[in-house]
Amino acid sequence: QITLKESGPTLVKPTQTLTLTCTFSGFSLSTGGVGLGWIRQPPGKALEWLALIYWDDDKRYSPSLKNRLTLTKDASKNQVVLTMTNMDPVDTATYYCAHMDSDGQGSETGDGAFDMWGQGTMVTVSS
């Protein structure tokens, strides 16, 4: 059974750096075809894709946020950490991590849909 859980601060000040951790179980991020993504959703608004780390440690970032985002994984702890620098009130959102298994979906490219999501963690940016 795959589970994911996001954790981190609920409130950060403008210009601070946000550090979010996704702790997962039921899969290994070292298994071929597996990836873990981050997606956010401002209150009442649509989903926005942020970043994705693949099983081979390849990382992809949203071009609009690339300079502010960093992904790291700790395989021994089954965790992926997302850091976002220079936080602004417009970054107020619920942040989700999500699992991808491209092999399980029959992909030949290593890309697939997000089939399991964490419950999300709400982050407010305010002074």
Partner 1 sequence: DIVMTQSPDSLAVSLGEGATINCKSSQSVLYSSDNKNYLAWYQQKPGQPPKLLIYWASTRESGVPDRFSGSGSGTDFTLTISSLQAEDVAVYYCQQYYTTPRTFGQGTKVEI
* Residues at the interface with partner 1 (CB under 8 A): 37, 39, 46-49, 52, 60-64, 96, 98, 105-109, 111-120
**Is the CB of 27 or the CB of 114 nearer to partner 1?**
114
**Is the CB of 33 or the CB of 112 nearer to partner 1?**
112
Q: Write down the least CB distance from residue 60 to partner 1, Å.
A: 5
**Is the CB of 15 or the CB of 57 nearer to partner 1?**
57
- Nearest CA among 92, 77, 79 for reference residue 124: 92
Say if residues 101 and 115 touch (Cβ distance below 8 Å): yes
Q: Write down the least CB distance from residue 73 to partner 1, Å.
A: 18
Q: Write down the least CB distance from residue 127 to partner 1, Å.
A: 28
**Is the CB of 72 or the CB of 105 nearer to partner 1?**
105
Identify any residues that bridge with 114 across adjacent strands, giving them in sequence order: 100
| SS3 per-residue string spanning 57-114 | CCEEECCCCHHHEEEEEEHHHCEEEEEECCCCHHHCEEEEEEEEECCCCCCCCCCCCE
Q: Write down the least CB distance from residue 76 to partner 1, Å.
A: 26
Q: How far is CA 71 from CA 75, 82, 103, 104, 122, in A?
A: 13, 5, 22, 24, 19
